[in-house]
Chains A and B, each alone.
Chain A
Amino acid sequence: MSEPISTGAEWTFELIEQYHAEIEAIAEEYGLDTYPNQIELITAEQMLDAYASVGMPIGYSHWSFGKHFIKNEQQYRRGHMGLAYEIVINSNPCIAYLMEENTMMMQALVIAHASFGHNSFFKGNYLFRTWTDAEAIIDYLVFAKRYINECEERYGIDEVENLLDSCHALQNHGVDRYKRPNPVSMREEQERLKEREAYLQSQVNDLWHKTIPRKEAEEERERQPNFPEEPQENILYFVEKNAPLLEPWQREVVRIVRKIGQYFYPQRQTQVMNEGWACFWHYHIMNALYDRGKVTDGFMLEFLQSHTNVVAQPDFDSKFYSGINPYALGYAMMTDIKRICVDPDEEDRKWFPDIAGSDWQQTLDFAMRNFKDESFISQFLSPRLIREFKLFSILDDEQQSELEVTSIHNDSGYRYIRQALSNQYNLSMNEPNIQVYNVDIRGDRSLTLRHIPHNNVPLADTSEEVLKHLRRLWGFGVKLETVDADGEVIRTEECAA
């Protein structure tokens, strides 16, 4: 048995380095593939700053970040909210922020959790690999900040602020859900920037030159093909490319907001997996440290207390309940996969013939790399876990006066619950499906969106405001049609030119 690295609660830079070295060695033995780490120590106030800018170290200035900052600060001051112990950024090197208030144990835990858990997830998971470019994000953010700053100087703060407001309103509809985007790259961005400004404008001019509005017979207009030919889900992209009146710099700002939204999209799709993976590994790494005598019993108790809090799942009727805890579900699933590999029982062999008894490290690695929350759950949620969480599903149909319990944790309910839970993490089911449907290029240039409700779930009344924002970007009238299952328009909302 070797000496523990430290015995007190105080951390020092030397200790952090020693812990990091030990943890790195353990992570290597477990085969975690990570970006190099960059660990930064920050104060609570700086942590609040980071919160406000969605965790990014550099962001352009906007009042909404100030609002979030004020809100968080209030809650933190009044003790309504604890701060996260860390924030980690999907970049290369992987930047993790550690708060100075943390104890030595907590710093070690955070290093294991963020600098190795999240880090390896960022590097390995297919969504992050396809949709984000860890090499370039920091550079891109620097570029975005500077660009928006320049715009403010040239066109005035108000002008830029209004534009950003409108873009933010549509940020969630500025991602390509299915098409693979080009990774953001700093150098290319800059090289192409000038070129693109000119090109974009020429494209737009081209489209609208030929379409000087003129009166046409109704039937003739009917025969015109829609523009765009296929409905487009990425509204911001459509605006960037086709809005008739935007200046080149405005298109660039739209692009920046869109790119940043796109960058965060994978994070929203892999919350359960990402946290589960990080918790799973911090748990293993901390135990390995203990087994090697690197940490004391006290350290371990403090860790277990904290770990247990993080992965606890309150029941639906508890006052602490606020939805399914992604840490709890993710950690339980990762641990469960390991169990199925190492120590499968009859049920596991029946449900998971492929992985029961296989090498657990390989299986987990495969799961981490190739899934997102919805597919991960529908693939790996085991009956045993459903029993442990005592999951049940409830159907809420507006038409019925009562809610119905559709299934519970029993033989006939497992598959149903698994599917229902998977759906719950399907972002495209939880966000309204709104697409660009048509532009009246020969007429009043108005833009028509179509909303296709999922299960008759209506749009919240914020849509009116959002339409105003879209109207500002588009420059002409904007219409939102809600269609039913047969494609019949059942409701129209309009924001006139």
Chain B
Amino acid sequence: MAQLIDRRPNAKGKSTVNRQRFLRRYKTQIKKAISEQISERSITNVDGGESVSIPTRDITEPTFRNDQGGVREGVYPGNKEFAPGDKIKRPPGGGGGKGGSASDSGEGEDDFVFEISKDEYLDMLFDDLELPNLQKNQLSKMTKSKTVRAGFTNDGVPTNINIVRSLRSALSRRVAMGAEPRRRLRELEAELLGLQQDVGGDEGRRRELEREIEALRNRIRKIPFIDTFDLRFNNFVQRPEPTSQAVMFCLMDVSGSMDQETKDIAKRFYILLYLFLTRSYRDVDVVYIRHHTQAKEVDEEEFFYSRETGGTIVSSALEMTRDIIAQRYPPTDWNIYAAQASDGDNWNDDSPVCEQILAKQLLPQLRYYAYVEITRRDHQGLWAHYENLLAKHDNFAMQHIREYEDIYPVFREFFRKQTQ
């Protein structure tokens, strides 16, 4: 007799280890592929995994093999018109003489394309990175409470009555309270029946029995259908939960000096930041604030692609951020992040103001403020004033980006795992 084994419930993904080994080995290539694809994603599109393609030549497993050429003879099925001695033109794509399938071998240099899951994608993207101040944040943020079910209680408000449980306990109480009288009743009825059949029965005893039966019936009848004692209530308690919402302010200078390339670089940076935040927070709001001499809250499309001209006053955007936080995102409920991208231009008298607003008003409320300066020129006034902030505020960071290639390293620099 055969042994029949159901393996289906066994742990799936026996190859998971091997798959991880594969990803581990080709980490460099995969990371490269991922960073090339970043520009094609919208900031908030992080639901899917990613299709990654790495060159096949990197992952071949070489063996000693025969190449095309030399003298070889093959046998094929389905001869139709050939006779011995016939000459056939060599089909393109190498020898072998396999009419139809010769092209298969010719196209072996395709890339190896495969899907990685969202988690794997993000892991690759944020390898070794850590959300700033996360630890501290989670400890201090146990403020938000959430109502959760917590079983049943015997008292509560009428709206919370659990009907099924209440009736169930009423029923069991009725059964319990009636059990003894009913048993007694059955005994007496049996005795009465005996007396009635016995012609010379004891008349006094019979009457006594009837009276007693009547009393018992009354007693059973009087057991209440439902009693306050039976009522059961759904119980709810408030449980403190670490807040899982974050808001990310994207600040960008759109004055005439910012060209499309600079904006694209900024976009990539924001995508990274958004992806990064969604790793740690369930809900992430994004607020786009663009500014020249005045700040304006806009949607993503307008943020990146509409053109503006004019001078630059950075403090206008900072003030707007402060106001929006005050109106919509109380820091007790929200983890607030802000990232500012600029080419470094600012109206000179404005830079000290920016420093003041950040130091006094914004930074105390923010988890993290990142400033990226995207320019190939030298730093200007804003950079110098921001540098003053660095020493005093560990939730403030600034970096300089020159080229596309800088984005990722700079991003990593911002969020590098904080050493103890």
Residues of A near any B CB (own CB < 8 A): 13, 16-17, 20-21, 24, 36-43, 45-46, 48-49, 52-53, 61-67, 69-71, 74, 93, 97, 100, 111, 115, 157, 161, 165, 168-173, 313-319, 321-324, 389-399, 401-410, 412-413, 417, 420-421, 423-424, 430-432, 434, 451, 453-463, 465-466, 469
Contact = CB atoms under 8 A, between A and B. Distances in A.
Contacts of B63: 168-172, 462, 466
Closest 8 CB pairs of A and B: A315-B78, A66-B22, A457-B70, A66-B18, A465-B62, A37-B2, A456-B70, A316-B76
Contacts of B1: 17, 20-21, 24
Interface string B245-264: 00000000000000000000
A316 B18 contact: no
B101 A66 contact: no
A408 to B, nearest CB: 5
B75 A67 contact: no
Interface in B1-33: 1-8, 10, 12-15, 17-26
B88 A393 contact: no
Contact of B78 (A64, A318, A407, A454): A318
B2 A394 contact: no
Given A39-B5, A405-B85, A63 B74 contact: no
A375 B87 CA distance: 30
Nearest to B94: A396
B8 to A, nearest CB: 5
Contacts of A69: 15, 18-19, 22
B75 A17 contact: no
B90 A391 contact: no
Contacts of B67: 457-461
Contacts of B99: 316-317, 321
A39 B77 contact: no
Nearest to A377: B75
A392 B18 contact: no
A451 B70 CA distance: 14
Contacts of A43: 8, 12
Contact of A20 (B2, B64, B89): B2
B84 A406 contact: yes
A24 B76 CA distance: 38
Contact of B114 (A37, A71, A408): A71
Nearest to A392: B79
Give the interface SS of chain B, mostly helix, strand, loop or mixed. Answer: loop
A417 B7 contact: no
A49 B14 contact: yes
Contacts of A170: 63-64
Given A390-B79, A394-B76, A456-B71, A403 B97 contact: yes
Given A48-B15, A63-B18, A66-B15, A432 B71 contact: no
Given A401-B90, A408-B84, A463-B62, 10 more contacts: A17-B4, A37-B3, A42-B8, A70-B114, A316-B98, A396-B72, A398-B70, A398-B95, A403-B90, A457-B72
B100 A458 contact: no
B115 interface: yes
A49 B100 CA distance: 32
A417 B76 CA distance: 10
Interface of B: 1-8, 10, 12-15, 17-26, 59-80, 82-90, 95-101, 104, 112-115
Contact of B75 (A157, A313, A417): A417
Nearest to A45: B12
Contacts, number: 279
A390 B79 CA distance: 5
B64 A161 contact: no
A6 B114 CA distance: 42
Given A42-B8, A64-B61, A390-B78, A396 B95 contact: yes
A466 B77 contact: no
B22 A67 contact: yes
A172 B64 contact: yes
A13 B21 contact: no
B77 A74 contact: no
21 contacts: A21-B1, A40-B5, A61-B17, A70-B19, A161-B25, A168-B61, A171-B63, A316-B76, A324-B76, A324-B77, A390-B79, A396-B71, A398-B70, A402-B88, A405-B86, A420-B75, A421-B75, A457-B67, A457-B70, A459-B65, A459-B66
B2 A17 contact: yes
A74 to B, nearest CB: 6
Nearest to B20: A66
Given A46-B8, A405-B86, A70 B79 contact: no
A39 B2 contact: yes
Contacts of B87: 402-405
Given A63-B22, A460-B66, A169 B76 contact: no
Contact of B62 (A324, A421, A430, A466): A466
Contact of A63 (B21, B60, B101): B21
B108 to A, nearest CB: 11
Contacts of A403: 87-90, 95, 97
Contact of B100 (A48, A161, A318, A457): A318
Contacts of B84: 405-408, 410, 412-413
A466 B64 contact: yes
Residue of B2, B22, B73, B77 with most chain A CB atoms under a 10 A cut-off: B77
A485 B108 CA distance: 32
A315 B4 contact: no
Given A41-B7, A405-B85, A406-B84, A74 B115 contact: yes
A460 B82 contact: no
A473 B14 CA distance: 29
A462 B96 contact: no
A280 B35 CA distance: 54
B237 to A, nearest CB: 41
A434 B113 contact: no
Contacts of B64: 170, 172-173, 431-432, 434, 451, 459-460, 462-463, 466
A405 B18 contact: no
Contact of A316 (B65, B100, B115): B100
A402 B90 contact: yes
B101 A322 contact: yes
B15 A394 contact: no
A62 B22 CA distance: 8
Given A64-B61, A66-B15, A398-B95, A457 B71 contact: yes
Contacts of A397: 71
Contact of B2 (A36, A322, A395, A396): A36
